[in-house]
Amino acid sequence: MTTVVRIIDLIKYYELGSVLVKALDGVSLTVHEGEFVALMGPSGSGKSTLLNLLGCLDRPTYGHYYLAGQDVAGMPDDQLSDIRSRFLGFIFQQYNLLAQYTVVENIEVPLLYQERRLTEETRQRCIELAELVGLGQRLDHRPMQLSGGQQQRVAIARALVNDPQVILADEPTGNLDTRTSEEIMQLLTRLNQAGKTIIMVTHENDIASWAKRVVRMRDGIVETDELNTPHWLRDGATVSA
Amino acid sequence: MLLFIPTVVVERGWRNIVLAVRSLWLHKLRALLSVLGIVIGTAAVIALMAFGEGSMQDALADIERQGATNIIVRSVKPPDESATQSRSFFAVYGLTEQDYERLHNIDTIIRDVPLRVFRQEIRYLGSMHVGRMVGTTQHYTIVHQTNPIAGRFLTADDEEFRRNHAVLGWTVAKQLFPLQNPLGETIVIGKHLYKVVGVMPERMPTGGSGGSQAAEEFNDDVYIPLSTCNSRVGARVFLRQTGSRSGEQVELHQVTLTVSNMDKVRPTADVVRDLLVRFHGPKKDWAMTVPLDRLDEAKRAKNRYKMLLVLIASISLLVGGIGIMNIMLATVTERTREIGIRRALGAKRRDITFQFLIEAVVQTGIGGILGVVLGLGIAIILPWLWQLITGSHLPAKIHEGSIGLSLGVSLVVGVLFGWYPAQRAAKLDPIEALRHV
Ligand SMILES: Nc1ncnc2c1ncn2[C@@H]1O[C@H](COP(=O)(O)OP(=O)(O)OP(=O)(O)O)[C@@H](O)[C@H]1O
Ligand SMILES: [Mg+2]
């Protein structure tokens, strides 16, 4: 199994005046290709901080981070941007689509920042991804014209466009109702079954139960790290295509 | 590979321009208002350049008409004459035949044309036109750069034999011979008969702004040989006025001198002035016009416009630039989240800088274009309105270079004042930017 993410003794401290906040206090974690990890833990336990570090949006105070074999912990800003645009896919709680762009254009954004030209081919790929997440009929719609669930689908398509090593999702269903959450989780599960590595932060056990591995955090350290049988496998049901 | 990378850059630039237009479109009114300073600055550049250029060209055309190498000396009735010499029956003043001889002998002068001018009634059969009877010589056409459109001008023979030949100005010919060819017909000027030998074309009046010279209208003239004129009209001319009779004695009304070349015009003018001062003393009964002086005057006018232009343009472009900077700072704050998203999805700092810089430049560029349109509008409509209201001519000539210049300047303003906000945007921390509501 290929190792996608490997972090060793990751430490992130924030200095707030005289107070030292230990957001991460020595976290080690290895994620292999094809895994679906749920990061859980109480509020303030450091889940988002960890996800931001995994997403190369931030640099650790100490520790190592190997992403697809590259040591990215000490990389300069421009190189981190490059890593993000080529190896990572992001899904946010707030969907975070760009208001000026249509659905297809939003999906295209990560490609804008790669040193490559946008062609008919890449445009076609964006359209296919929109179809994959069930928005083939709404290619030219703006985010404002879409529901929350639809916006999150666009965000998922966007996270796929650069064929990332790992998809990072911070509470992807946090703003959605139960039914829509379920649809989104089905979509993520299908992607995982197709081989995508996913690391997802969540508060809810229901959501975490879709994952194949659950990591629980507390006060900046990993409390438990155990394999999980996704609920739909337990029930003997299958994910509808 | 060499071709590949620039295409990426060009495409990226184009995408950023499209993005900028879309982002601005979300706040149309705001974008328009913030760019007002640029609009006014650019419009000022275009309009003032047009007026400066226009007055310059006007002056050049005027100089061309009057002859750039000409010096015009005229008799002027001194203002004190009538008051102090009220006893005197005749007002004696102006240029004399002797003056003419002296001027004639200046060696830089290659040609000279003396003129006597009288207001006269010109008649043909039943029609009458009041115009100017001008006694002159055959060189008139050369010195004043005009040629008859029909027939011929006066000749040396006309002068020598004091022939009763006349050449009609355009309006005179039109008035007296509306339907008929005037050539060969006999007209009456004053009490004497003349045969029409030529007709002059319509001529533009000379500008009245040339120093002491009043605007001169040529289309009412009738030209006759100077010798004929002298024999018909003596040195003394009686003027009938209500109650009293007065008269004046003017030997020559005007002498137009042509100098051999442009560089000698000023020195020659100095010589002419010295001569006239020497022989006329303090009596200011003559005036000299050097059309070339109009050039300096026009240059000064153009410089005045230029200084005004630089002042207005730099103030409004500064204000405009600050307006852009202000609005771009607001935009960056408003779109912090967008910046965070783009950074998370792989945008480098320079991509963000580029994006907002382009947006600023697109904004000032649009402002520049609007300003050019406004400036052109002013340069076209204002002279027309001016003509309508005051009846006088406001020269304007659109200067193509000014369009490129002002557009260029507005783009530069965009870069200069967009730089700081774009840098601010690029320096934002991605995580904090993403957390921004
Ligand atoms: N930029 C920052 N400056 C200072 N302290 C920070 C910063 N970011 C996070 N922290 C602190 O680090 C700790 C971990 O925060 P983090 O956002 O990772 O928690 P979380 O597990 O994601 O919580 P939640 O479930 O509420 O999202 C918290 O105590 C938080 O206050
Ligand atoms: Mg969090």
* Percentage of chain B exceeding pLDDT 70: 91
* Tokens matching residue B417: 């004042």
Lowest mean pLDDT among B53-62, B122-131, B380-389: B53-62
Decide if pLDDT at B216 tops 80. no
**In a domain? residue B51:** yes
| Per-residue pLDDT at A51 exceeds 70 | yes
Domain ranges of chain A: 3-234
pLDDT at B238: 62
- Distance between CA atoms of residues B203 and B173, nearest Å: 13
- CB contacts under 8 A, B 328-357 vs A, are 337-338, 340-351
Quick check: A222 pLDDT over 50?
yes
- What does the pLDDT read at residue B119? 87
More confident residue, A73 or A232: A73
Please indicate, yes or no, whether residues B361 and B410 belong to a single structural domain of this protein. yes
Nearest alpha carbon, ligand 1 atom 7: A14
Considering only CB atoms, A57 lies closest to which of B338, B351, B431, namely B431
Mean pLDDT rounded to a whole number for chain A: 92
H helix intervals, B286-398: 291-334, 336-344, 349-390
In this structure, are residues B225 and B158 in contact, taking their beta carbons and an 8 Å threshold? Answer: yes
Sign of CA dihedral B129, B133, B138, B140: negative
Tokens 């995994």 sit at which residue?
A: A54
pLDDT at A82 over 90: yes
Distance A152 CA to ligand 1 centre (A): 23
Domains contained in chain B, number: 2
**Structural domain containing residue B214:** 70-260
**pLDDT at site A161:** 95
Is residue B145 located within the same domain as residue B243?
Answer: yes
Task: Judge whether residue B8 has pLDDT over 80.
Answer: no
Is B284 part of any domain?
no
Pocket flag, ligand 1, residue A162 (CB < 6 Å): no
Distance CA A164, CA A194 (A): 13
- Cα(A20) to ligand 1 centroid in Å equals 12
Least CA distance to B433: which residue of chain A?
Answer: A57
Q: How far apart are the first and last CA of chain A?
A: 26
In sequence order, what DSSP letters do the residues of B131-175 get, joined into one string?
EEEEEE-TTHHHHTT---SEE----HHHHHTT--EEEE-HHHHHH
| Section B410-420 average pLDDT | 95
B404 occurs within a structural domain: yes
The answer to whether position B38 is within a domain reads yes
Asked if B20 reaches chain A (Cβ–Cβ under 8 Å), the answer is no
pLDDT of residue B208: 47
| Residue B412 pLDDT > 90 | yes
**What's the CA gap between B35 and B417, in Å, rounded?**
12
What integer pLDDT is reported at residue A199 of this predicted model? 97
Residue B173: its pLDDT value, please?
92
Ligand 1 atom closest to the Cα of residue A47 is: 21
Provide the greatest CA pair distance for chain A: 55
Checking if the pLDDT of B25 tops 70, the result is yes
Least confident interval from A22-31, B4-13, B295-304? B4-13
Domain contains B251: yes
Residues B430 and B307 occupy one common structural domain: yes
Distance from CA of B428 to the nearest CA of A (A): 12
Q: Same domain, yes or no, for B52 and B90?
A: no
Please indicate, yes or no, whether residues B36 and B83 belong to a single structural domain of this protein: no
> Has residue B5 been placed in a domain?
no
pLDDT band at B211 (very low <50, low <70, confident <90, very high): very low
The tens digit of pLDDT for each residue in B278-288 reads 888 888 888 88
Separation of CA B124 and ligand 2 centre (Å): 107
Distance from C-alpha of A88 to C-alpha of A169, rounded to nearest angstrom: 11
Please tell me whether residues B75 and B211 are part of one structural domain. yes
* Span B154-175, average pLDDT: 92
- Domain end position, chosen among B260, B286, B321: B260
Q: Examine residue B265 and state whether it is found in any structural domain, yes or no.
A: no
Q: Smallest CA–CA separation between A57 and chain B, in Å?
A: 6
Evaluate: CB of A16 within 6 angstroms of ligand 1.
yes
Residue B122 pairs with which residues in a beta bridge?
Answer: B129, B189
Question: Hey, are the CB atoms on A109 and B342 less than 8 Å from each other?
Answer: yes
Same domain? For B193 and B103 the reply is yes
Residue nearest to atom 19 of ligand 1 (CA): A44
Check if the beta carbon of residue B334 is closer than 8 Å to that of residue B30: no
Q: How confident is the model at residue B26 (pLDDT cuts 50, 70, 90)?
A: confident
| Residue A241: band (very low, low, confident or very high) from pLDDT cuts 50, 70, 90 | very low
The pLDDT of residue A116: 80
Let me know whether B313 and B220 are in one domain.
no
Contact B344 A113 (CB under 8 A): no
Could you count the other beta carbons within 10 Å of the beta carbon of residue B106? 16
**Is residue B290 domain-resident?**
no
pLDDT single digits (tens) A173-182: 999 999 999 9
Closest A-chain CA to B22: A100
For A80, the closest chain B residue by CA position comes to B346
Residue A181: Cβ-neighbour burial (10 angstroms; 0-12, 13-18, 19+) = buried
Q: Please name which ligand lies nearest the alpha carbon of A42.
A: 1
Q: Is the pTM of this model over 0.90?
A: no
B209 — pLDDT class (breaks 50, 70, 90): very low
Same-domain check for residues B240 and B302? no
Look at the alpha carbons of B373, B375, B378, B383 in this order and tell me if their dihedral is positive or negative.
Answer: negative
Distance from CA of A48 to the nearest CA of B (A): 10
B105/B227 same-domain check: yes
CATH number 3.40.120.10 given to A3-234: no
Domain final residue pick, B211, B239, B260: B260
Contact call for A113 and B15, based on CB within 8 A? no
Helices B97-104, B265-280: crossing angle, 10 deg rounding: 150
Q: Does the interface predicted TM-score (ipTM) exceed 0.90?
A: yes
Under a CB-based contact definition with an 8 Å cutoff, are residues B336 and B344 in contact?
no
Whether B431 sits inside 8 A of A77 (CB atoms) is no
The predicted model gives A190-215 an average pLDDT of 94
Q: At which of B260, B287, B322 does a domain end? A: B260
* Ligand 1 centroid distance, CA of B331 (Å): 28
Q: What are B253-283's pLDDT values in tens digits?
A: 899 999 988 888 889 999 999 988 888 888 8
Are residues B111 and B254 both part of a single domain?
yes
